[in-house]
Structure 1
Amino acid sequence: MIRGLKKKIGIGVGIAILIVIISFLGVFRFHVDVALAIWAIAGFVMAYSIYLLVSYFIQPAKLITISTKVELKSPPRILKSVQNYRLKVSSEKH
């Protein structure tokens, strides 16, 4: 999940950098057509939005099974308090 989030944030930062570069080119008059720059920015943002939407619905649900196991340190007849029980939790991803 964190890896996917980092990837999405990286794409978003890339789009933001492109927007800043196009804005600076427009401000300093490097013959960039403003309408073309705006359409390019809108295209990048729209493509990124569609990517987020599609990736949200395509990801399979992750099932996590948690199994618990109680281990006894001594035979049950000797146990007199709950402190003598030790609980082990293990998780399996399917």
Structure 2
Amino acid sequence: MYNGRKAIEEYDVASGTDNEEESTLEWILTEEGNWIEDYQGTPSWYTLNLSAMYRLSDSFTAQMAIENILDQHYKTFASGLSAPGRNFIVTLRARL
């Protein structure tokens, strides 16, 4: 999985397509001593995943997967929700 960076200048806030308040926020101290919000946009991210499958017989297969191996913290674009951390998935399938 991968998400490209989107700078705050590229956000379309007026149409409601993008929500700058869900982007990365930094606080900047001005020369006057005031703190102001500085929305940064959406950073790029990637996850490393691994999966393997083993055929147990003509009717059964087993599958194992690890998603987000590096346990990256990220949010899909402007969702406001953190994506899952490291996941372990085990699947057993039967064909009848």
Both structures adopt the same fold (TM-score exceeding 0.5): no
Could you say which structure has the higher helix fraction?
Answer: 1
Higher strand share: 2
TM-score by length of 2: 0.29
